[in-house]
C-alpha cells in the first residue's frame, strides 16, 4: 500500500477542522440527514416492507380457508331454504283447510267497540281484515281491534286468509253499552279529625227514630243520631256519661219526656251547663200552623196534641233547669211529607201547611233542617239525612270560615245552608234562630 505524503498546509487544515468540530456544542449539531443516514433509512424501510409482505403471505392461506368455510355454510343454508320453500309450495298447492278463526271477547263502552280473538292455519295466516281493513296479528296468532259503535249497534265482519287463499269469516253484532254516570263523591264522616276542648258540665239528649209504630219510616234518622253521639263527644266535648241516647222503640213519648225531666234537667248545673238536643225523625205542624210537633216512636199524626211533643213544650221543660245555654238540632220538617217523599204522614191532609214562625227562649240556639213548608230530605249516597250530614261535616272544621280554630252557630249554619241548598236544588233551606255568635266548637 502506498502512503502519500501530507503537506504542512494540509495538516493545518485538518487540525483546524478537528478543532472546529470539537468546538460545536451537541445542541447545535446538524439535524439534516447525511448520505449515510439516508442509506440507513432506505434499508430500514425495505426491511419493514419485507416483513409486512412476509406476514401477509403467511396469513393469506388462513383467510382463504375461513372464506371457503363461510361460502360452504351459505350454500348449505340456501339449499335448505330451497327445500323448505318447495315443500311449502307443495303443501299450499294441496291445502284445503281454511284458517281457524275464533272471537274470544266482544265489548263496548260508549261509542267504542273492542274485539279480541285468535287465528291459526296449517300453512300460515296471510292476513286478517276487520271491516275490510288489515289488522295486526301477533306471533302467536292473537289479535285485537277497535271499531265505532253507533247508538243502534253495528254488524262487524272479520275475514282471515291463509297463504293458500282459503278464508274463514266471522260476523258479529256489537251493541252500544251506555256509560254509567258517575255519582257525586261525598267524604266520609270523621269526628276524630281534630281535638277539642272538653266541656265537662255539658249534657246532651240525642234521639233518632227510623222505624215508627204508626207512620212511615224516616230514612237514616236512627243512623244520624247514633253517629251524632260521637260528634257530641269529639266535637262538643261531652263525656259518655253525659249523653242520653234514644232510638226507635226506646224513643216513645214516655221515655222522651222522662229523659228530659228526670235525667237531663237533674244533670244540669245551673248557669254552667250547655245543653244540646238532637232530634232526627218525623215532625208535623198543627192544622192551623201554630204549633210544631216532634213525633215519638208511638206518636199518631191524627192525635198530635196527645201523642206528640210540641217544640214549645220541650223548650219550656228544658228552661226550668236554667242551663247556661241550649243548642237544638232538628233534622225534621213539619210539612207532613216523609224523608223519602213517597208517603205522607196524614194522607188526607192538604199540602202546603206552613208552621208559624216560633219564638225561641233567651239563651236558645235552634238549627232546623228546612223551612216550615219544606221537606227534610235524605242524602242516599252517604245514608244520612241531608241536613245531618252537612251539620256533622261542618263540625269537623269545614265551617270554620275564618280559620280561628272555633266554629260559631252562624258559621255552622252558613256552611250547612250553602251545601243543603246546593244538593237539594233549593228545595230545602235550613234555618237558624237564636244566638248566632255562640261558639259551638273550640279546637285545641
Residue 240 grid cell:
259518655
Which residue, chain included where needed, has cell 468546538? Answer: 23
Asked if 153 contacts 195 with a C-beta cutoff of 8 angstroms, the reply is no
Q: Please identify, in words, the CATH class of the domain defined by 100-174.
A: mainly beta
Reduced to 3 states, what is the DSSP secondary structure of residue 108? Answer: strand
Q: How far is 265 from 157, CA to CA, in rounded Å?
A: 81
Give, in order, the Cα–Cα distances in Å from 405 to each of 389, 392, 395, 402, 412: 21, 16, 11, 8, 13
Per-domain boundaries in the chain: 100-174, 203-442
Give, in order, the Cα–Cα distances in Å from 380 to each of 119, 141, 216, 255: 49, 49, 17, 30
Which residue, chain included where needed, has cell 251539620? Answer: 391
Asked if 134 contacts 128 with a C-beta cutoff of 8 angstroms, the reply is yes
58 exposure class (CB count in 10 Å sphere: 0-12, 13-18, 19+): exposed
| DSSP secondary structure code for residue 152 in this structure | T
Please tell me the predicted confidence (pLDDT) of residue 37: 47
Residue 60 grid cell:
393469506
Quote the pTM value: 0.61
C-alpha torsion sign, points 71, 75, 76, 78: positive
Beta strands in 359-438 (DSSP E): 364-368, 378-379, 384-385, 406-408, 431-434
Segments of the chain with pLDDT less than 70: 1-61, 88, 179-183, 336-358
Q: How far is 191 from 28, CA to CA, in rounded Å?
A: 101
Q: How far is 233 from 196, CA to CA, in rounded Å?
A: 9
Reduced to 3 states, what is the DSSP secondary structure of residue 36? Answer: helix
Q: How far is 254 from 83, CA to CA, in rounded Å?
A: 103
Residues 6+ apart with CB under 8 A from 127: 134, 137, 160, 161
| DSSP secondary structure code for residue 383 in this structure | T
Helix or strand holding residue 120 (H, E): strand 112-120
Please tell me the predicted confidence (pLDDT) of residue 110: 82
Q: Please provide the CATH number assigned to the domain covering 203-442.
A: 3.40.50.1460
Q: How far is 62 from 348, CA to CA, in rounded Å?
A: 115
Amino acid at each position: 500500500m502506498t502512503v502519500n505524503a501530507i503537506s504542512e498546509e494540509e495538516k493545518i487544515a485538518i487540525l483546524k477542522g478537528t478543532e472546529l468540530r470539537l468546538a460545536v456544542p451537541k445542541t447545535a449539531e446538524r439535524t439534516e440527514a447525511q448520505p449515510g443516514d439516508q442509506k440507513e433509512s432506505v434499508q430500514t424501510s425495505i426491511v419493514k416492507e419485507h416483513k409486512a409482505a412476509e406476514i401477509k403471505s403467511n396469513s393469506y392461506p388462513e383467510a382463504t380457508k375461513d372464506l371457503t368455510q363461510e361460502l360452504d355454510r351459505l350454500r348449505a343454508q340456501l339449499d335448505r331454504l330451497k327445500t323448505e320453500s318447495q315443500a311449502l309450495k307443495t303443501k299450499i298447492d294441496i291445502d284445503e283447510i281454511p284458517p281457524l278463526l275464533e272471537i274470544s271477547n266482544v265489548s263496548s263502552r260508549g261509542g267504542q267497540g273492542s274485539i279480541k280473538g285468535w287465528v291459526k292455519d296449517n300453512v300460515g295466516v296471510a292476513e286478517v281484515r276487520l271491516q275490510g281493513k288489515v289488522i295486526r296479528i301477533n306471533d302467536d296468532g292473537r289479535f285485537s281491534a277497535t271499531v265505532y259503535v253507533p247508538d243502534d249497534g253495528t254488524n262487524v265482519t272479520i275475514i282471515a286468509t291463509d297463504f293458500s287463499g282459503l278464508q274463514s269469516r266471522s260476523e258479529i253484532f256489537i251493541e252500544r253499552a251506555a256509560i254509567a254516570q258517575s255519582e257525586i263523591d261525598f267524604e266520609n264522616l270523621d269526628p276524630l279529625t281534630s281535638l277539642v276542648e272538653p266541656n265537662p258540665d255539658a249534657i246532651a239528649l240525642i234521639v233518632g227514630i227510623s222505624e215508627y209504630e204508626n207512620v212511615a219510616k224516616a230514612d237514616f234518622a236512627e243512623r244520624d243520631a247514633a253517629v251524632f253521639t260521637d260528634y257530641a263527644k269529639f266535637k262538643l266535648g261531652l263525656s259518655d256519661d253525659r249523653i242520653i241516647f234514644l232510638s226507635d222503640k226506646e224513643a216513645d213519648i214516655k221515655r222522651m219526656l222522662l229523659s228530659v225531666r228526670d235525667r237531663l234537667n237533674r244533670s244540669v248545673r245551673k248557669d254552667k251547663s250547655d245543653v244540646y238536643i238532637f232530634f232526627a225523625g218525623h215532625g208535623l205542624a198543627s192544622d192551623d200552623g201554630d204549633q210544631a210537633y216532634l213525633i215519638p216512636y208511638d206518636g199518631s199524626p191524627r192525635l198530635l196534641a196527645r201523642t206528640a211533643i210540641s217544640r214549645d213544650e220541650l223548650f219550656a221543660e228544658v228552661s226550668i233547669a236554667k242551663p247556661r245555654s241550649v243548642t237544638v238540632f232538628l233534622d225534621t220538617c213539619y210539612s207532613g211529607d216523609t224523608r223519602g217523599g213517597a208517603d205522607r204522614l196524614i194522607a188526607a191532609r192538604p199540602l202546603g201547611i206552613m208552621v208559624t214562625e216560633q219564638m225561641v227562649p233567651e239563651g236558645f240556639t235552634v238549627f232546623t233542617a228546612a223551612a216550615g213548608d219544606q221537606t227534610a230530605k235524605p242524602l242516599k249516597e252517604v245514608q244520612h239525612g241531608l241536613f245531618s250530614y252537612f251539620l256533622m261535616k261542618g263540625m269537623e272544621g269545614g265551617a270554620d270560615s275564618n280559620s280561628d280554630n272555633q266554629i260559631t252557630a252562624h258559621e255552622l249554619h252558613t256552611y250547612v245552608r250553602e251545601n243543603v241548598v246546593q244538593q237539594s236544588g233549593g228545595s230545602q233551606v235550613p234555618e237558624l234562630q237564636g244566638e248566632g255568635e255562640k261558639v259551638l266548637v273550640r279546637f285545641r
